[in-house]
Structure 1
Amino acid sequence: MSTPTRPPGESGQPQLQVALSWLEHYTYCPRQCALIVLEDAFTDDTATTRGTLLHQRVDIPGNKGRGTVRTLHALPVWHDDLGLTGTCDTVELHDNGTVLPVEHKSGRYHPGGPADVQAAAQAICLQQMFQRPVPRAAVYSAADRRRHTVTIIPELHQRVLTTTRAVRELLTTRQLPPPPPDNRPCRRCSMAATCIPTVLTRTRHYHHALNNLYTLPDEEPTHP
């Protein structure tokens, strides 16, 4: 997958751009993010297909008004200083000046999870673009048909910055991280077959099997 760069900044060096969706993938699992970004190895399952179908309703660019709220769909956003870029599913512009990004997810919402980081990054981008505070975002969960408010507290803002740096480091080193030491997040991951975490976390067994694969058996002794 090609990685775009921004024009040289004050340092004179181009900055690798980080997609907002990569922040969510990295927060969920750095190895999953690397497989997607570095090896273009994304795999669909039932959950990701549900997400694709859900996003078909909000991924068509356009805007519409309802009462005092104007809703924008598939809005491109960016942050020049942080080198972030992406697309917001929905952005609401209220007549009182409120700007609210709404990220759509097919599964259940987990407070403090990867979706919060992605939604917060959208809010940070919109704040720079509209030149006004964007203190909140929302995550819409299709599983419970509810919006969940995400407040951009300083700790969450810092998570966005830290994760952005980590993803950019991944793009620079191009090193595939090891799978997580416990397999709980792997059970819900569509890329488990590509990642083979169960094999790789048992490092000693893996290397033993690999060595045996290329070891020739001892020659049988010859008898006179």
Structure 2
Amino acid sequence: MNNPALQGSGEGDLVQVPLSALEHYAYCPRQSGLIILEDAFADDAATVRGTLLHQRVDTPGNRGRGTVRTLHALPVWSDSYGLTGICDTVELHDDGRILPVEHKSGPYHPGGPADIQAAAQAICLEEMFRRHVPEAAVYSAADRRRHKVTVDDELRARVRQLALTVRTMHTTGSLPPPAADSRCRRCSMATSCMPKVLAGTRRYRQALTDLYTLDDFQDDAP
């Protein structure tokens, strides 16, 4: 797969990693690999809900409300981290504060993959606006509220490490192994991933053993 979003533009440039790939990898490395390396994706009820939610916020433009200017579907990037993507919503406050707001259809999980994506957006905005962005937010439609994300040194280090890991996966073309755990039940890509088969679960290994094991009576056959 030749994905232009992942290609460096010149010698010494970092291969660009999409912001969404960080979240996918943080949730499940194999899911991220299937999307990036094999251009695979499948919809289910959860992904459709997410698409419908983003249709309301991903129309490019800006709006004013009181002392806040709101930008929608803002393209962002960071050359130092090698990141590129689009922010759902960015609020520009009159005191100079910049707040990226990532929209999610499902419930919020503190410290989860959504925090990684929101922090990566803040890092991109810092580089573009040359202004410190210490906070981000994740809006959960399921919770009907925003959740504050503190973009501290630890979270920044997680973003940098994940970007490096995803970049390495892309350049080597190595697809991560399946998780084969509770995440698979909620994944729209479980059919194409075949986690239980490829993970070598006990039932699969036993079936494989039985398939290639000769019965005693076969050994005695003339």
Counterpart in the other structure of 2:119: 120
Amino acid at match of 1:7: S
Quickly say closer, same or farther: Cα 1:205–1:184, change in 2 above 3 A. closer
Separation of aligned partners in 2, 1:209 and 1:39? 29
Contact (CA 8 Å) 1:3, 1:16: kept in 2 or not? no
Identical aligned residues as a percent = 66
> What secondary structure is seen at the aligned counterpart in 1 of 2:178?
coil
2:7 is the counterpart of 1:2: no
Counterpart in the other structure of 1:48: 47
Alignment of 1:92-103 (within 5 A): 92-103=91-102
Between 22-31 and 204-213, the greater mean CA deviation after superposition: 204-213
Separation of aligned partners in 1, 2:212 and 2:133? 58
- Per-residue deviation, residues 153-194 of structure 1 (Å, max 9, x unmatched): 11111000000000001101111111125x111121111111
Separation of aligned partners in 1, 2:12 and 2:205? 40
Alignment of 1:50-129 (within 5 A): 50-129=49-128
Counterpart in the other structure of 1:21: 20
- Report runs of 4+ in structure 1 exceeding 4 Å deviation: 203-215
Number of aligned residue pairs: 218
Counterpart in the other structure of 1:194: 192
- Cα displacement (A) at 1:2: 2.6
Counterpart in the other structure of 2:176: 177
Quickly say closer, same or farther: Cα 1:213–1:42, change in 2 above 3 A. farther
- Cα displacement (A) at 1:145: 0.7
> What secondary structure is seen at the aligned counterpart in 2 of 1:133?
coil
Contact (CA 8 Å) 1:3, 1:17: kept in 2 or not? no
Contact (CA 8 Å) 2:196, 2:204: kept in 1 or not? no
CA RMSD after TM alignment: 2.3
Separation of aligned partners in 2, 1:65 and 1:131? 22
Separation of aligned partners in 2, 1:6 and 1:174? 16
Between 187-196 and 119-128, the greater mean CA deviation after superposition: 187-196
- Per-residue deviation, residues 50-79 of structure 1 (Å, max 9, x unmatched): 000000011110000000000000000000
Separation of aligned partners in 2, 1:210 and 1:120? 45
Q: Which consecutive residues of structure 1, in runs of 5 or more, have no partner in the other structure?
A: none
> What secondary structure is seen at the aligned counterpart in 1 of 2:176?
coil
Separation of aligned partners in 1, 2:144 and 2:201? 42
Separation of aligned partners in 1, 2:78 and 2:127? 7
- Cα displacement (A) at 1:213: 7.9
- Cα displacement (A) at 1:105: 0.2
